[in-house]
């Protein structure tokens, strides 16, 4: 249902700030220069130097639930976009009619809304309230536009795609939207959502970008982590130790044929760098160089977008947010166009993933990776820049915050509010909080809790206490004031605190289940018991791939091999039927030992969603 602004509202709208949200994909906490990294990100660093950095900003540990939380202001489980025990939901889940996206709330205030990049939200983009969209549905080849959609319509790729690169194309479209807005809608504010695919696998980058980092990481993941952590300490980002590398933790899902295709230089554990062969060290360092090149290029393209905002004289009254959808990924797989081991690493013919070694670097100083709800999977940067509205320059904000806070923050900033009902249906209370007070000063935003559940991995944060458990694992308790590395489990010392936080987690689970049950699909229908809520069957191989994606060539790696350690199942673990993406990894490929099998990775049928 489209809502348009009246003439009077348009006049008022001219005084409202523009809003830009830039989202990276699988970017780690320490990948930006302003968060301790060595990758060149001068444009984002300048935004931080003239704005704010949040040190405890959270996501949902995965792509599609984070995007649901970002744009609706609800936890993904509340709107069928992540699984609940016995109810399903997930990558194919369909939101309830009342679960509107932010553009629908902004339209009555005179805003136009633009989307450029990855979507991975249920439904068409324009139906979600956006006025223009480039939907980058081809997420398996950064060098081809095949399968992408413009304003929800397929766009045939040119016969010659030489020179095409997805990150540049995303920025091109965003800039085109801004130019059109300046020319034809200058009397109205805008919301621009720019969702880069980078640095998500496959690791594809321009040769000149890779060259800048080719030899940067040859001294290994341990030393790179230590350098990043030292810079973070100098910045005062966190009062914590550096988490230890976990050589028994590999990718969350195991694809044995992928390891075979990638060859003997692939390493699916963060083993001691000195134990790797010279060839393995070069291969791993090259993968990290490509990851860095992708982040570097994204920052360069963000710089072009910022130049357009300056050219429009819009920079001063535009609130710019930058974050990532989850932590860096330990996944290793081969799909889409496959992998040619003889092709130049990072080129279109290759399919490389970062893997757990350098993913641990990207997530410095935290433990674990995307899909887990440890700090490494759920905590990433948040940079906020707004010259007209934020007096502080280069300051840190230490309040815990979450993707669910974006919608209420924007509505607070622009003078809007969420309606009490939608098309006659009452809107449930939204869990997010406005961060506007934290934009003014370093205050703690009060809330009862922050809550997580993904593929059986679960956590809750109350104040500075975090209760967390891996799938099939026991609850662990951490004091995040000094231990965001999650290195000292206090559960045995403070069983009362464990019981208190567990009760909060279970109460939230019950509330979300009661809400979702009202509109859950019947058993056996699409969306039931972890299969999502989509209408009709997707032709795509993965849940995340749209039906009309680029007809990627499927690989034989579609079935993941479970490990022998996936048998432990504690009595308090929720019986969530995992999404099809979750088989654990067995012995490492590099100098394996019998005791190096992953002990805490989720067991389920993989769907290899992005």
Torsion of CA 471, 475, 479, 482, to 10 degrees: -40
**Confidence label for 426 from pLDDT (cuts 50, 70 and 90):** confident
* Mean of per-residue pLDDT scores for the chain: 87
Note the pLDDT tens digit of each residue in 316-368: 999 999 999 999 999 999 999 899 999 999 999 999 999 999 999 999 999 99
- pLDDT at residue 577 tops 60: no
* pLDDT given at position 260: 94
List, in order of start, the domains of the chain with CATH numbers.
7-83+91-417 (3.40.720.10)
- Three-state DSSP at 304 gives helix
The 10 Å CB-count burial string (b at 16+, else e) for 343-357 is eebbbbbbbbbbbbb
Task: For tokens 């308090």, name the residue.
Answer: 572
For the ranges 242-251, 423-432, 532-541, the lowest mean pLDDT is seen at 532-541
Alpha-carbon separation of residue 559 from 201, 260, 601, 605 (angstroms): 19, 14, 16, 7
**Confidence label for 425 from pLDDT (cuts 50, 70 and 90):** confident
Phi, psi of 331 (to 5 degrees): -60, 150
- pLDDT at residue 524 tops 50: yes
DSSP single-letter state for residue 239: S
User: Which two three-digit tokens encode residue 448?
Assistant: 């009862």
Q: Which helix (H) or strand (E) holds 362?
A: helix 355-362
CA distance 254 to 588: 10
For the ranges 57-61, 276-280, 381-385, 546-550, the lowest mean pLDDT is seen at 546-550
Q: What is the mean pLDDT of residues 114-126?
A: 97
Which sign, positive or negative, has the C-alpha torsion 521, 524, 526, 529?
positive
Note the pLDDT tens digit of each residue in 123-149: 999 999 999 999 999 999 999 999 999
- Three-state DSSP at 104 gives helix
* 153-154, strands of its sheet edge to edge: 153-154, 149-150, 132-135, 112-117, 190-195, 18-24, 318-324, 382-385, 52-54, 395-397
- pLDDT at residue 1 tops 60: no
Whole-angstrom distance between the N-terminal and C-terminal Cα of the chain? 30
**Confidence label for 422 from pLDDT (cuts 50, 70 and 90):** confident
Calculate what percentage of the chain has a pLDDT beyond 70. 83
Q: What is the mean pLDDT of residues 430-449?
A: 98
- pLDDT at residue 67 tops 70: yes
- Three-state DSSP at 19 gives strand
CA distance 45 to 34: 5
* pLDDT given at position 522: 75
In the chain, % helix, strand, coil (3-state, to 5) comes to 30, 10, 55
CB count in 10 Å sphere of residue 417: 12
Q: Peptide bond preceding 267: is omega within 30 degrees of 0, i.e. cis?
A: no
- pLDDT at residue 589 tops 70: no
Q: What is the mean pLDDT of residues 262-278?
A: 97
User: Which residues, in sequence order, are CB contacts of 77 under 8 Å at separation 6+?
Assistant: 65, 83, 84, 89, 453, 512, 516
* Closest of 125, 190, 136 to residue 167, by C-alpha: 136
- pLDDT at residue 586 tops 60: no
Note the pLDDT tens digit of each residue in 545-567: 333 333 333 333 434 443 333 33
* pLDDT given at position 424: 87
User: Which residues, in sequence order, are CB contacts of 276 under 8 Å at separation 6+?
Assistant: 267, 284, 590, 591
CA distance 487 to 241: 8
User: Which residues, in sequence order, are CB contacts of 374 under 8 Å at separation 6+?
Assistant: 366, 367, 368, 459, 468, 470, 486
* pLDDT given at position 591: 39
Q: Which helix (H) or strand (E) holds 289?
A: helix 278-311
Phi, psi of 452 (to 5 degrees): -140, 145
* pLDDT given at position 563: 36
**Confidence label for 258 from pLDDT (cuts 50, 70 and 90):** very high
355-362 vs 220-235: helix crossing angle, rounded to 10: 10
* pLDDT given at position 574: 57
Q: How far is CA 355 from the centre of its chain?
A: 16
Q: What is the mean pLDDT of residues 464-476?
A: 97
- The residues facing 458 across adjacent strands are 453, 469
CA distance 547 to 498: 44
* pLDDT given at position 601: 36
Q: Is the pTM of this model over 0.75?
A: yes
Task: For tokens 């357009």, name the residue.
Answer: 308
- Three-state DSSP at 74 gives coil
Torsion of CA 231, 439, 62, 588, to 10 degrees: 10
- pLDDT at residue 83 tops 80: yes
User: Which two three-digit tokens encode residue 131?
Assistant: 């006025």
- Three-state DSSP at 440 gives helix
Q: How far is CA 280 from the centre of its chain?
A: 28
CA distance 110 to 280: 56
* pLDDT given at position 597: 36
Note the pLDDT tens digit of each residue in 147-166: 999 999 999 999 999 999 99
């Amino acid at each position: 249902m489209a809502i348009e602004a009246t003439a009077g509202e348009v006049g008022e709208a001219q005084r409202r700030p523009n809003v830009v949200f830039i989202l990276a994909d699988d970017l780690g906490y320490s990948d930006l220069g302003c968060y301790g990294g060595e990758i060149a990100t001068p444009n984002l660093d300048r935004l931080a130097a003239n704005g704010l950095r949040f040190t405890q900003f959270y996501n949902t540990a995965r792509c599609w639930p984070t995007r649901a939380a970002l744009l609706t202001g609800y936890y993904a489980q509340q709107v069928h976009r992540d699984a609940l025990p016995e109810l399903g939901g997930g990558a194919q889940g369909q939101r309830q009619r009342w679960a509107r996206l932010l553009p629908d709330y902004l339209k009555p205030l005179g805003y136009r809304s633009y989307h450029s990049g990855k979507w991975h939200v249920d439904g068409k983009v324009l139906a979600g309230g956006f006025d223009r969209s480039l939907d980058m549905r081809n997420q398996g080849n950064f060098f081809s536009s095949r399968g992408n959609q413009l304003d929800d319509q397929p766009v045939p790729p040119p016969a010659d795609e030489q020179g095409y690169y997805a990150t540049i194309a995303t920025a091109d479209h965003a800039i085109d939207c801004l130019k059109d807005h300046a020319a034809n809608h200058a009397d109205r504010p805008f919301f621009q959502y720019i969702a880069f695919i980078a640095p998500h696998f496959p690791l594809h980058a321009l040769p000149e970008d890779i060259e800048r980092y080719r030899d940067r990481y040859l001294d290994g993941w341990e030393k790179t982590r230590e350098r990043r952590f030292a810079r973070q300490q100098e910045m005062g980002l966190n009062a914590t130790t550096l988490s230890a590398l976990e050589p028994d933790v590999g990718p969350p899902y195991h694809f044995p044929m992928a390891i075979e295709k990638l060859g003997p230089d692939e390493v699916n554990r963060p083993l001691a760098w000195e134990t790797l062969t010279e060839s393995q060290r070069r291969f791993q360092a090259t993968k990290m160089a490509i990851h860095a090149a992708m982040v570097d290029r994204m920052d360069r393209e963000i710089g072009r977008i910022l130049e357009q905002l300056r050219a429009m004289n819009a920079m001063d009254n535009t609130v710019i947010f930058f974050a990532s959808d989850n932590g860096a990924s330990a996944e290793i797989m081969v799909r889409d166009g496959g992998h040619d081991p003889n092709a130049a690493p990072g080129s279109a013919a290759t399919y490389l993933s970062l893997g757990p070694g350098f993913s641990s670097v990207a997530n410095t100083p935290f433990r674990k990776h995307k899909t887990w709800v440890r700090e490494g999977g759920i905590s990433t940067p948040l940079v906020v820049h707004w010259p007209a509205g934020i007096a502080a320059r280069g300051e840190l904000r230490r309040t815990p915050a979450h993707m669910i806070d974006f919608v209420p923050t924007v509505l607070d900033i622009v003078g809007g509010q969420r309606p009490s009902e939608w098309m006659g249906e009452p809107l449930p209370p939204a869990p997010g909080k406005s961060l506007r007070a934290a934009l003014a000063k370093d205050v703690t935003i009060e809330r009862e809790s922050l809550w997580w559940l993904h593929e059986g991995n679960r956590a809750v944060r109350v104040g500075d206490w975090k209760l967390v458990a891996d799938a099939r694992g026991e609850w662990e308790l951490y004091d995040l004031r000094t231990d965001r590395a999650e290195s000292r489990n206090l559960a045995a010392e403070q069983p009362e605190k464990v019981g208190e936080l567990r009760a909060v987690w279970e109460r939230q689970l019950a509330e979300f289940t009661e809400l979702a049950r009202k509109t859950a699909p019947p058993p056996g229908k699409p969306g039931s018991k972890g299969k999502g809520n989509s209408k009709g069957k997707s032709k795509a191989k993965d849940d995340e791939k749209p039906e009309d994606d680029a007809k990627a060539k499927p690989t034989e790696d579609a079935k993941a091999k479970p490990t022998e350690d996936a048998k432990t199942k504690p009595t308090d673990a929720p019986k969530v039927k995992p999404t099809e993406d979750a088989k654990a990894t067995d012995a490492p490929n590099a100098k394996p030992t019998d005791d190096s099998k992953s002990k805490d990775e989720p067991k389920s049928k993989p769907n290899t969603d992005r």
